[in-house]
A and B are shown apart, each in its own frame.
Chain A
Amino acid sequence: MDFKLEELNTDILIIGGGTAGCFSAITAAEQSNFKILIVEKANIMRSGCLAAGVNAINAYIGKGETPESFVEYVKKDSEEVVREDLVYSIAKELNTVIKKIEDLGLPILKDKDGKYIQRGKRSIKINGENIKPILANAVYKHSNIKVLNKINIIDYIVKNGEVIGAIGFSLEEPKIIGIYAKVVICTTGGAAGLYKPNNPGFSRHKMWYCPFNTGAGYAMGIRAGAEMTSFEMRFIALRCKDTIAPTGTVAQGIGAKQINGKGEAYIHKYGKPTTPIRLYATLMENKNGNGPCYLKTKGITKEQEEELFKAYLNMAPAQTLKWLEHNRGPSIENIEIEGTEPYIVGGHTASGYWVDINRRTTLKGLYAAGDVAGGSPKKYVSGCFVEGKIAALSAIKEIAHKKTPKKDNKILKKYLKKIQQFFRNENSLISIEELEESMQKVMDEYAGGISQGYVINKNKLNIAEKRIDELIDLAYTLQAKDLHDLLFIHEIIDRLYVCKVLVQHLKARKETRWKCYQENYDYPKKDDKNWKKYVNSVYKSGVVKIIFRDLIGRDEFYEHSYR
């Protein structure tokens, strides 16, 4: 295939026009005159996690709560290994960004006095079906933001240890582009599709996390030598069976209890009900023959049922379709629940780039925000907004007197060669789909997927390590026949790099800190004496080097050592 080569310049490059990316762009546009460029693999109108909508804003400082109590909650729920400084910086800004998104047009449920109606201590009720178009339209209002849709970014451009841009290709025409910028903000979201999913057949992409977020931001950072943190803290969601729709609307919205097949409430048997314990308890009930487990909704009123139909249409329409096509709504039948396959998602758990308080990564010139940034679990939509904002505000200060980096045509030519090789791999013995399934099978069976009850041990991880390395080599022999194949191949390569780092993190933490997320059979107990620390890593010349770091407290100041 013949590719056009194109080089572009901008001041601020934002990779991934999702939740954090759009908010970051809007902030930078309001606070500066810099040229901002969003590059997005799909189209910012409906790309990423927010495509179908969300049904609540899950990080909010509600009545009686404070930023300090928010930090305490996140710390406890995550077994203390979090970056309290980062969580605190989010907590302090949550209500400000929520006001902003409301002003942009997001409907939030209010009482007579105009106060938000809460859904639990830290959550508010919205109509989030339209949240992504609201954000996108706000982006398009700014003349200093340019958006390039349908461009998939594959690597950073790094010069003398500094990120000065990124390389990508178009999905619409054979074109490779190199974008040079004074500063780069990575907001590509987390990684789905690493493990064999709940519905591995025809409905393989009917998963909870956005299947089009394939860990590109992590992988680019890994390959460029950025420090990553807490990959071993995987996220596994408790969801409605088959549709994998969120459960919070039912659990928090109407206060439905988790019950087992015998109709008994079971959570209390397993200790304090943190997020991972609710999942673990469900798994154990099934294992002990007490399944299936449900959210108890039988007997709710018809009005409540109608409201649930609507709430699900606004975020996970499959659930409403399932209820109505069989004429068995939640007032008649309890909702069966199950755990998903593991994801790497920095907005729910703590996996991602190791960043400082301004969301600077360990690579000069590169920021990270949203699900791709590590250290602070439970940021959700609103926390992703805050991180986008923090990154933008710091970035515009940093580049006040910076010159645009020089273009270097050699880099584009290097990537042209790499990309064309995939079209030349005519003798490839494996298909893209086979490779994807092999990766997911290896991770499922040897790195604690659904089939293993999420549990890991050293011997199995050693096999995963070896197999993932073999698959990385094989991935470069895959053949692309068109641009979409090229996208699929890069999505697999990126996920394989994430898997490689994930396996090393799982091997490194020699205790069990979080049930299900990181449950190590060789070390089945939590070991506070030795393991209240972060597991970080840096990839260099094919090897993942593990680094241990001490916990950083709420009011401590952490700085990367190179600055």
Chain B
Amino acid sequence: MNFMSIHIDKEKCIGCGKCIIVCPGSLIYQDNNGKAFIKYPKDCWGCTACLKQCSVQAIKYYLGLDMGGGGGYLTIKKEAEYLDWYITTKEGKTKKIRINSKEANKY
């Protein structure tokens, strides 16, 4: 298993280019077929800005093995004012956390 910082699924990607625009490190580029790919995976900060932009959930975020990652990943879906965060374990179990972006944190 090769733990990427982020991983873009080329099958799912529709080539909208939004993740490319928003990455604070400009690390994502477009390949010859118009699909997004991360050119500099070691330079990813893990901010998940790209995941939040992707309307088809083509981007997953993994923790590197050197940070204690174990193959689990995170995806994000935007639904109106909600951000739905999905954390999936290596075994395939998913937990959804819904956050209302209009509500402040308790802590």
Contacts and interface: CB of A to CB of B under 8 A. Distances in A.
A45 B20 CA distance: 12
Interface string A28-57: 000000000000011101111001100110
B12 interface: no
Contacts of A41: 26
A306 B105 CA distance: 11
Given A201-B66, A324-B72, A325-B69, A125 B43 contact: no
A70 to B, nearest CB: 22
Interface in B78-107: 83, 85, 87-90, 95, 97, 99-107
Nearest to B21: A43
Contacts of A130: 101
Contacts of B107: 55, 119, 125, 249-250, 253-254, 307-308, 311
Given A311-B107, A320-B87, A205 B45 contact: yes
Contact of A126 (B39, B47, B104): B104
B57 interface: no
A109 B100 CA distance: 13
B105 A199 contact: no
A202 B71 CA distance: 15
B29 to A, nearest CB: 8
B93 to A, nearest CB: 8
A326 interface: yes
B105 A242 contact: no
Contact of B83 (A52, A129, A327): A129
A418 B24 CA distance: 26
Interface in A172-228: 199, 201-207, 210-212
A265 interface: no
B31 to A, nearest CB: 15
A360 to B, nearest CB: 29
Interface in B48-95: 48-49, 61, 63-74, 83, 85, 87-90, 95
B87 to A, nearest CB: 4
Interface residues of A, number: 60
Contacts of A108: 104
Query: Which among A129, A250, A317 has the highest number of chain B CB atoms within 10 Å?
Result: A317
Contacts of B39: 484
A302 B83 CA distance: 21
A324 B73 CA distance: 10
Contacts of A307: 105-107
B66 A109 contact: no
Given A46-B47, A129-B83, A484-B26, A202 B64 contact: yes
Contact of A210 (B26, B45, B103): B45
Contacts of A129: 83, 99, 101
A306 B95 CA distance: 12
Interface string A271-312: 000000000000000000000000000000000001111110
Contacts of B3: 202
Given A45-B21, A307-B107, A51 B49 contact: yes
Contacts of A545: none
A549 B97 CA distance: 53
A554 interface: no
B23 interface: yes
A321 B105 contact: no
Given A171-B26, A484-B39, A202 B101 contact: no
Query: Which among B24, B39, B61, B88 has the highest number of chain A CB atoms within 10 Å?
Result: B24
B16 interface: no
A364 interface: no
B34 interface: no
A109 B87 CA distance: 26
Contact of B61 (A126, A204, A242, A321): A321
A317 B104 contact: no
Contacts of B64: 199, 201-203, 206
Contacts of A318: 46, 63, 67
Contacts of A309: 97
A427 to B, nearest CB: 24
A211 B43 contact: yes
Contacts of A47: 24
CB-based closest 4 A-B pairs: A325-B72, A253-B107, A109-B104, A203-B64
18 contacts: A51-B45, A109-B105, A126-B105, A129-B101, A130-B101, A202-B3, A202-B66, A205-B46, A212-B45, A242-B68, A254-B107, A310-B97, A311-B107, A317-B61, A317-B85, A320-B85, A321-B87, A324-B87
Interface of B: 3, 5, 21-26, 39-49, 61, 63-74, 83, 85, 87-90, 95, 97, 99-107
Interface of A: 41-43, 45-48, 51-52, 55-56, 107-110, 119, 125-127, 129-130, 149-150, 171, 199, 201-207, 210-212, 242-243, 249-250, 253-254, 306-311, 313-314, 317-318, 320-322, 324-327, 484, 487
Given A52-B45, A125-B104, A313-B85, 16 more contacts: A42-B24, A43-B21, A43-B23, A127-B103, A127-B104, A149-B21, A202-B64, A203-B42, A205-B5, A206-B64, A211-B25, A311-B107, A313-B99, A324-B72, A325-B69, A484-B26
